[in-house]
Structure 1
Amino acid sequence: MSFTEEVGIDLGTANVLIYVDGKGIVLQEPSVVAVNKDTKEILAIGSEAKRMIGRTPGNIAAIRPLREGVISDYDITERMLQYFIRKTCGGSRIFKPRLIVCVPSGVTEVEKRAVREAALQAGGRSVFLIEEPVAAAIGAGVDITGPEGVMIIDIGGGTTDIAVISMGGIVTSASVKLAGDTFDECIVKYIRKKYRLFIGERTAEQLKKEIGAAFYGETPRKTLCKGRDLVSGLPRTVEVTSAEILEALEEPIDGICEAVHSVLERTPPELAADVGESGIVITGGGAHLRGLERRIQRKTGIRTRIAPDADFCVAKGTGESLKYIDMLRKNSLNRRETYI
């Protein structure tokens, strides 16, 4: 490994993606760690740990060390990052990679410090932070260097980041804790209330992906849902429709649409006019919810599209951000930091 190797990390609530300069995206693993609660020993990380969610004995916990876009368990996050970096770059301690890590817009100084320290302790030579909407825009192929305003909506696992970007920086933004995890929680609550059936988050996520919708004009779909009957305690199967999933997701989808509207209201008129002309771009795993772009377009009256390879835009943009390093270095995340 060259001492100049650059590694971009999309440190997401649901997944960690790693982009290596010259190689592209080399790793995509769930942000899940299985821990023995008695001995504190880490038993599995990533895909293997995710398979344990909802299936572990009492002394083993499959946990997510990141919540709502920020670190909730520093030690576990550090060890998870260390594992992924070693898996990607090898175990050499001689030449450490330079890390570019994306964070939600609006993170606090404490949260930024936690990300930096975790990345350095995990094996980084130096750490540069980039805000998720900026990374998403770069990864989606949007020109962020010009004076024209562009709008990005990045819907991840823990947060939805909305921003209007101009001259390589964020002009107006909002980060709301309504995203993929919220969608899953709403589906769990809806099925529990309507059918008296208890399902886990993996089943909810599957329902969201298979028949989820955000717009009533989408083609109806239905599927079978298995869970535990809350009355009898026995396994039971019910048929669930896309209209029901839409009803379950109505509140968080409305919340995202209101946040988009709020950002537009706070955007300078010239940049708002640019957005009206260029349109809105949606990135992130949540972009795949059927009809979401139509829902946002109806709310704003602005043409809205889903970026190609929406899941990978943030990771790709994080890795490719070095070409804009001089411009990005001036933003608030790295004003007091050196990147060598």
Structure 2
Amino acid sequence: MNAWRRFVALDLGTARTRSLILGGQAIADRPSVVVRRPAGAGAADVVRPVRHGMVADRGACARLVRLALRDTRLFDSRPLERVLAGVPVAASPGDREAVRAAVAGIAGCEVALVEEPLAAAVGAGLDVLGARPRLLLDVGAGIVEAVVLRDGVVSDAVSLQLSTTTGTGPTADAVDSIADMTAGLLRRLPAATRPDARARGLVVTGGGAHHEHLLRRLRTALRAPVAAAPQPQYAIVRGLMRLCLQPALAGHPASPAR
């Protein structure tokens, strides 16, 4: 089923951009940078098109999308039918439009957007359709988002933009801020559902999930089980592909654009 269709999942991250084509053998993973060469003889600039999970340079982001989609053509050179791209929950309408424009202008096909923590939960194998609240923390290089998932949607969320990270994840100060932010989200749940959410624990996705000190700090702050998803850095792109194939996994349709 769907073997003849060309779907691409696209995760435009602050530090890494990952893409996956239906039927591809591997996730394409590249730095989120492009090289801008001046018209004269000056030195080339390295540009980071995405900051804090949002598009900071639309022209450079379009070039990054072109590179990411070129990576997928190693597996299938047919025209694209659909691209599903992730956006932070905190993204404004303007931020979302910037992603749509960058992807649609290069892909030349239907583009739909999905909130990244929801995609990460699907990619981590969580049941996102149930009525019981489920906690997820997505730790990217530029933005961290803690969410409550229920009935296939993000029902509550908090976000923290990261100014700096280390080679192994968030700085010590950021770790404390992330733990406090996530504990605050748990306290915002209705008292009747809070014990169940705490007992079910927190799943952590994104590259920062490899940071063991963060996981320990979260366990202390939440007084709940905390575990990193398998290969957490790929949870978003895998979830986006699953949602390409099974849109019903989300409680509302993705937002399309051409």
Structure 1 and Structure 2 fold alike (TM over 0.5): yes
Structure 2: runs of 5+ lacking an equivalent:
none
Q: What does 1:214-233 correspond to in 2, within 5 Å?
A: none
Structure 1 distance, partners of 2:224, 2:200, is 9
Quick one: which of 188, 193, 213 aligns to 1:266?
A: 188
Q: In the alignment, does 2:238 pair up with 1:316?
A: yes
Q: What does 1:1-340 correspond to in 2, within 5 Å?
A: 4-23=5-24, 25-36=26-37, 38-39=38-39, 59-89=43-73, 95-178=79-162, 182-184=164-166, 205=167, 208=168, 249-326=171-248, 328=250, 330=252, 334=255, 337=256
Structure 1 distance, partners of 2:131, 2:211, is 31
Residues 16-71 of structure 1 show CA distances to partners (whole Å, capped at 9, x for unaligned) of 111222335430001011222x229xxxxxxxxxxxxxxxx972211211000000
| Larger of the two Rg values belongs to structure | 1
Structure 2 distance, partners of 1:21, 1:268, is 40
1:312 Cα deviation from its structure 2 partner: 0.9
Paired residues of 2:6 and 2:78 also in contact (CA < 8 A):
no
Structure 1 distance, partners of 2:21, 2:83, is 10
Cα distance change on mapping 1:282 and 1:327 into 2, 3 Å? closer
Cα distance change on mapping 1:168 and 1:323 into 2, 3 Å? farther
Cα distance change on mapping 1:91 and 1:313 into 2, 3 Å? closer
- Which segments of structure 1 move beyond 4 Å, counting only runs of 4 or more? 90-94
Structure 1 distance, partners of 2:192, 2:86, is 28
The amino acid across from 1:162 in the alignment is A
1:84 Cα deviation from its structure 2 partner: 1.8
1:93 Cα deviation from its structure 2 partner: 8.9
SS in structure 2 at match of 1:174 = strand
Structure 1 distance, partners of 2:25, 2:115, is 20
Residues 310-331 of structure 1 show CA distances to partners (whole Å, capped at 9, x for unaligned) of 1111111111113541463726
Structure 1 distance, partners of 2:103, 2:257, is 15
Cα distance change on mapping 1:278 and 1:124 into 2, 3 Å? farther
Cα distance change on mapping 1:269 and 1:170 into 2, 3 Å? farther
Residues 244-283 of structure 1 show CA distances to partners (whole Å, capped at 9, x for unaligned) of xxxxx33211111111022112223344233212110111
Paired residues of 2:204 and 2:228 also in contact (CA < 8 A):
yes
Structure 1: runs of 5+ lacking an equivalent:
41-56, 185-204, 215-248
Structure 1 distance, partners of 2:230, 2:48, is 28
1:3 Cα deviation from its structure 2 partner: 6.5
The amino acid across from 1:321 in the alignment is L
1:309 Cα deviation from its structure 2 partner: 0.8
Paired residues of 1:3 and 1:95 also in contact (CA < 8 A):
no
Cα distance change on mapping 1:323 and 1:269 into 2, 3 Å? farther
SS in structure 2 at match of 1:281 = strand
Percent identity reads 27
Paired residues of 1:17 and 1:25 also in contact (CA < 8 A):
no
1:112 Cα deviation from its structure 2 partner: 0.6
Cα distance change on mapping 1:313 and 1:327 into 2, 3 Å? closer
